[in-house]
Structure 1
Amino acid sequence: MKIFKFVKEYIFKYKIQLFIFLIFSIISWIISIGLPYITGNYIDSLMNFQNRQTIIDFTIKILLMGIINIISSFVVSYSYVKVQTKSAIELNFKALEHISKMPILYFKNLDSAYLNQRINSDSNTLISFVLSNFLDILIRALTLIIVFYISFKINRKLTMILIPLIPLYLAIYFIFKKPLFKSGYELKEKQNKFFSKMNEQLYNINLIKLNSTFEESQKQLRTSFSTMFESLLKYTRISYIFSSSDSMTMIISQIIIFFFGGMEIINENLTIGQFTIIISYFSMIMGCISYYLNLGKSYQDALVSYNRLEEILNETKEINGDKRINSIDTIVLKEVCFSYDDTNNIIDNFNYTFKKGNIYGIIGQNGTGKSTFINLILGLFNNYYKGKIYYNSIELKKLDMYHIRKRIIGISEQEPALINDTIGKNVTYGIDIYNYDDIEEVLKSLNLDINKFQDGLNTNIYEAANNISGGEKLKISLARTFLKNPDMIILDEPTSALDVNSIEKLEFILKEIKKDKIIIIVTHNRDILDILDEIIDLNVVNSLNCEA
């Protein structure tokens, strides 16, 4: 089964817990098979030999089996939760890791809340399905064989009457197979989109408040709910018709067993104890058949999740090579072209060389491709550009840019992304080796007094960094870049939220460290142009289609 092959590596990581789960599941199953047989024989013993020892023996057996069953059930439930939760998280992480290494343009129109909800839901569905069923399929099959054999030995006629009911179950499954899959897939998609829309309400709360668009946002949410609700009702209708067939078959089966079983007792072909055994075993038989019938339904649900995860994991990863370098001396661009839509080039036939020891400025109007240009040389558009980009004479697509960006490139964005943690953790985020005393020093050099915060470096930054100013956020991002001490520094609008004094301090730092670094600054601020060694004006470059 392809679903089992897909998830086995995540489940088998926890072999000890899985082994415990299997052993105690088998113990519980053995007790469930043995208990009806012991009970039926006990009833016949009482009918034929009424003595206290029979009662005492039976009571002791039932007590021991009950205690063992309680312990086994607890261990099974506890180990199941451990394996299921850990395995689902591993599958979650696998999918998220794959997504994080997809081409950057994959995320252009991506609904992150929808995708997170989808991955989490599908991972849990798949792991739960396999963990619940891979042993159950075997146990239920053995149960059918054993109880059919015992029932056949007790009364052949009654057992043979029940066998024709099995094909009826199989026919029902094949009738509903495709409708269940289709409606299940549709429902999961609509649910994920609805939860995404709910998340959007909270994410855009500031926009909603500023524009007082409470009614409009509620209308969007209700529209999304209505679409999801229609899919839910459709799935419920199909699922109910499918499930109700199980109840009808059970009713028919009960009528058959009580009528013919009663007749066999009257004809003295069956004892009351044997009748109770057959009744109990018949319930097990119907439970097993019902399980296999519903297994088809749950398999279709799991197949939906499997296909949706496969869609994600089959997406092409971004190009990333395996060659590593320990320093960046030059970056050379030769006839580089880039377009978002394969028609109009944002970067067109671009040629340039960046050398260590210089500060470069990237200027240009909005839409001229400043951010695109930075993403190009960082290797974020490896799947899309034409031409050649070289780091130290090595082609960009052959380089392990994950390693290079982590180790020897430092980036401060125009709108810095900070994590929901302390100031200290944000400054050192992604940096493996640093001196703790240097954190306050680098913040001080950027005109940020850490003592103004009540808990200093241990001050927590809230979600969306709304408890610190834009300037403080930018300085934390700059401090992280300088603390990293990389070979190449890229600063996107580094002065946008800084006062005059802070800008002067930033300029001083850049001039001090530029000797052994390539520094690239994207800016609209004319005041910082004085420290630049070379300027790339993308307005001119793109209009002339020539070298910078």
Structure 2
Amino acid sequence: MHKYAWIVPYLNENKWRLFLGILFAIIEAGLGIVLLSIERTIIDDIIVSGNTKIIPEVFSIFISLALLYFVFMFLSPYQNFINQFSIFKRLNQDLMRKVQSKTIIDIQQERTAKLANIVGSDILGVSSTIADYIPNSLRTITRVVVLVTMFTYYTPLLALVAIMVSVIYYILAARFSSRIQSSAREVQEKRAQLLVEIQESIASTREVLVYDRIDWEQRKLDKAYNKYYRQVMLEGRIVNQQFAAGDMLRWLPTVFLFVYGGIILIYSSITIGTFIILYQFTYQLMFSLQELYNAAMKVFGKLAHIDRVGRLMGQQPARSLEFTIEEPIKSIRFHDVYLMYPEAANYALKGLSFHIPMGKSIAIVGKSGCGKSSIAKLLIRFTPPTSGNITINNYPIEQVSNESLTSKCAVVLQDPYIFKESVKNNVLLGNEVSEGYLSQVLDDACVNDFISTFPDGYDTVVSERGSTLSGGQKQRIALSRALLRNPELLILDEATSALDLQTELKVLNKLHEVRKGKTTIYITHNLRTIKEMDHIIVLDEGKVVGEGTHDQLINTNSCYRDLIGHTLQVSNTK
């Protein structure tokens, strides 16, 4: 049971609310049985014996208890509902933090729709199991115990039959539990795979239409759907088998009561009122046993949700955050850093050892695939190094708190994510600044060059992922996000690659002006824009093969000369 230990903190955190839910459920069960017991008095003492004097007293008690019963019948599920969504909310928050603590590489290896299914569907299954099934099962168990005790008082033989039926229910539950749990797990996996295909089908609509691959995409969806359908039908057959086996048991004690109870009623061993409430008790007991049996089967099915959430919750954080950097960044150093991506055959970076000069503009250049973007990913901790280490102010970067790192560093990627929000909100991302400062930042990123063409200016709502924006417009909005924070370290990973040369030079000139005295790292293929950089780092096949200014490198570094020469040749060809 240790694999479910991660649930304990949620039980402790909500223990009083859960206690209320359980208490209300038990009180509801007890009141229901008491109401049934009062019926014997009504039948035997009032209807049969004609004792009308006790009518006011009996009926006032009955009505009062009935009203109280209905109050708790409302309070019990209402409290369970509150508990369920309290746990759901906390699980959602913790699970998102767990996902966000993973490296970007780890996240990219997961399917987005699969993670969304865990965050959405699976944690709802976990929260309903804790907050709904557990209290209701305890209520049902209480009802069963009380009813069996009542049977023992009135007729021990019927109590024995009830216990035998309970044992058979237990045997059936043990028989079906593993099959239902296994089948439910497969259903969840196939459902997640189907959601992945649906999500990717929607996301790739443009490519599917452009390449006329609608039939191909439909075959993929049909294949995923058929797998899901077959597994659901298999689960349905197992559920129907366990339901049929359990439902037949409900009638055995009832038949026994009519035979045995009828005989002892004829020979006046029990009253008509006792016979009727015994029948009611029998019905309630069989209903409760069936309910408990079905609940157990559902919980076994829900274990698939719990296991999937538990696997994610049980994963260790990608890093141990210990250090907070209060002072300005004074040094960033790479110490013999190697990096190999999962499933890659070769190292992307091989023994990098260099330092990044502070307060300067630095360009990192090289051929495609030489490892330039990998350096950016390491600096912003999208992935950890395979070996070696990176330090900021002599602190290992993997142990620097996220708040420290993000408060001092900002990154602009080649293909930034644009939210379905206004341009203004896409830049602010929840921050609050003056209109004047926002306007200045947008001007520095040259967003104001195109914002006037938008119908509502800064308040224009763009489409999801910015599909109605050009690549250059998205990049300039993303650049505004970074400049808004005025970071000590700004990393631009091909952040202007979608701009034409004239616009790119205008943006870079603005950046040189507003970033003067601050550290800015430019990762770029366009070597025509780097001549004025303070420091240039040249990479080749994952290694640093040169450092210096443009003038120094053009005279001393053959790799850099080849890069410059190739760029000029391509430019002249165009």
Query: What is the TM-score when the length of structure 1 is the normalising length?
Result: 0.91
Check 1:462–1:492 CA distance in 2 against 1; reply closer, same or farther (3 A cut): same
- Amino acid corresponding to residue 232 of structure 1 in structure 2: V
Question: Is the aligned partner of 1:458 residue 2:456?
Answer: no
Give distance in 2, aligned partners of 1:134 and 1:3: 18
- Amino acid corresponding to residue 487 of structure 1 in structure 2: E
Q: Indicate the residue corresponding to 2:195 in structure 1.
A: 195
Q: Indicate the residue corresponding to 1:339 in structure 2.
A: 340
Shift of 1:304: 2.1
Shift of 1:62: 4.3
Q: Indicate the residue corresponding to 2:392 in structure 1.
A: 391
Task: Please give the per-residue CA displacement for 1:82-140, whole angstroms capped at 9, x wherever unaligned.
Answer: 22123112112212211211133212331111221133222111221122233334433
Q: Tell me, yes or no, if the aligned pair for 1:101 and 1:318 is still in contact at 8 Å.
A: yes
Q: Tell me, yes or no, if the aligned pair for 2:536 and 2:547 is still in contact at 8 Å.
A: no
Give distance in 2, aligned partners of 1:430 and 1:403: 16
Q: Tell me, yes or no, if the aligned pair for 1:102 and 1:315 is still in contact at 8 Å.
A: no
Q: Indicate the residue corresponding to 1:281 in structure 2.
A: 281
Q: Secondary structure at the match of 2:382?
A: coil
Q: Secondary structure at the match of 1:108?
A: helix
Give distance in 2, aligned partners of 1:18 and 1:436: 48
| Map 1:246-395 → 2, pairs under 5 A | 246-325=246-325, 326-340=327-341, 341=343, 343-382=345-384, 384-395=385-396
Q: Indicate the residue corresponding to 2:446 in structure 1.
A: 447
CA RMSD of aligned residues (A): 2.7
- Amino acid corresponding to residue 42 of structure 1 in structure 2: I
Check 1:156–1:107 CA distance in 2 against 1; reply closer, same or farther (3 A cut): closer
Deviates more, 1:524-533 or 1:405-414: 524-533
Give distance in 2, aligned partners of 1:215 and 1:543: 48
Q: Tell me, yes or no, if the aligned pair for 1:361 and 1:535 is still in contact at 8 Å.
A: yes
Give distance in 1, aligned partners of 2:33 and 2:295: 21
Q: Indicate the residue corresponding to 2:171 in structure 1.
A: 171
Deviates more, 1:387-396 or 1:260-269: 387-396
Q: Secondary structure at the match of 1:269?
A: coil
Q: Indicate the residue corresponding to 2:553 in structure 1.
A: none
Check 1:332–1:52 CA distance in 2 against 1; reply closer, same or farther (3 A cut): same
Percent sequence identity is: 21
Q: Which runs of 5+ in 2 are unaligned?
A: 549-556, 558-574
Q: Tell me, yes or no, if the aligned pair for 2:538 and 2:545 is still in contact at 8 Å.
A: no
Shift of 1:248: 1.4
Question: Is the aligned partner of 1:472 residue 2:466?
Answer: no
Q: Secondary structure at the match of 1:351?
A: strand
| Map 1:63-142 → 2, pairs under 5 A | 63-142=63-142
Q: Which runs of 5+ in 1 are unaligned?
A: none
- Amino acid corresponding to residue 331 of structure 1 in structure 2: I
Check 1:113–1:70 CA distance in 2 against 1; reply closer, same or farther (3 A cut): same
Give distance in 2, aligned partners of 1:344 and 1:2: 39
Shift of 1:500: 4.5
Q: Tell me, yes or no, if the aligned pair for 2:37 and 2:277 is still in contact at 8 Å.
A: yes
Give distance in 2, aligned partners of 1:295 and 1:74: 20
Query: What is the TM-score when the length of structure 2 is the normalising length?
Result: 0.87
Check 1:530–1:191 CA distance in 2 against 1; reply closer, same or farther (3 A cut): same
Give distance in 2, aligned partners of 1:390 and 1:116: 34
| Map 1:167-246 → 2, pairs under 5 A | 167-246=167-246
Deviates more, 1:472-481 or 1:356-365: 356-365
- Amino acid corresponding to residue 391 of structure 1 in structure 2: I
Task: Please give the per-residue CA displacement for 1:290-321, whole angstroms capped at 9, x wherever unaligned.
Answer: 23323431232232222222211222321243
Check 1:226–1:291 CA distance in 2 against 1; reply closer, same or farther (3 A cut): same
Q: Indicate the residue corresponding to 1:438 in structure 2.
A: 437
| Map 1:496-507 → 2, pairs under 5 A | 496-507=497-508
Higher relative contact order (CA 8 A, sep 6+): 1
Give distance in 2, aligned partners of 1:393 and 1:145: 66
Check 1:256–1:546 CA distance in 2 against 1; reply closer, same or farther (3 A cut): farther
Give distance in 1, aligned partners of 2:425 and 2:230: 46
Shift of 1:528: 1.1
Check 1:541–1:184 CA distance in 2 against 1; reply closer, same or farther (3 A cut): closer
Check 1:445–1:135 CA distance in 2 against 1; reply closer, same or farther (3 A cut): closer
Task: Please give the per-residue CA displacement for 1:322-377, whole angstroms capped at 9, x wherever unaligned.
Answer: 11223222212232211125752111122222111321112223222221121122
Check 1:545–1:506 CA distance in 2 against 1; reply closer, same or farther (3 A cut): closer
Give distance in 2, aligned partners of 1:160 and 1:313: 45
| Map 1:1-80 → 2, pairs under 5 A | 6-10=6-10, 13=13, 18=18, 20-50=20-50, 52-54=52-54, 57-80=57-80
Give distance in 1, aligned partners of 2:6 and 2:387: 37
Shift of 1:542: 3.5
Q: Secondary structure at the match of 1:50?
A: coil
- Amino acid corresponding to residue 288 of structure 2 in structure 1: C
Q: Tell me, yes or no, if the aligned pair for 1:350 and 1:545 is still in contact at 8 Å.
A: no
Shift of 1:64: 3.4
Q: Tell me, yes or no, if the aligned pair for 2:333 and 2:353 is still in contact at 8 Å.
A: yes
Q: Secondary structure at the match of 2:348?
A: strand
Q: Tell me, yes or no, if the aligned pair for 1:197 and 1:224 is still in contact at 8 Å.
A: yes
- Amino acid corresponding to residue 322 of structure 1 in structure 2: E
Give distance in 2, aligned partners of 1:22 and 1:314: 28
Q: Tell me, yes or no, if the aligned pair for 2:30 and 2:143 is still in contact at 8 Å.
A: no
Q: Tell me, yes or no, if the aligned pair for 1:439 and 1:483 is still in contact at 8 Å.
A: yes
Q: How many residues were matched structurally? A: 545
Give distance in 2, aligned partners of 1:438 and 1:304: 51
Task: Please give the per-residue CA displacement for 1:192-251, whole angstroms capped at 9, x wherever unaligned.
Answer: 111221222211111222222222111111111111111112212222211211111112
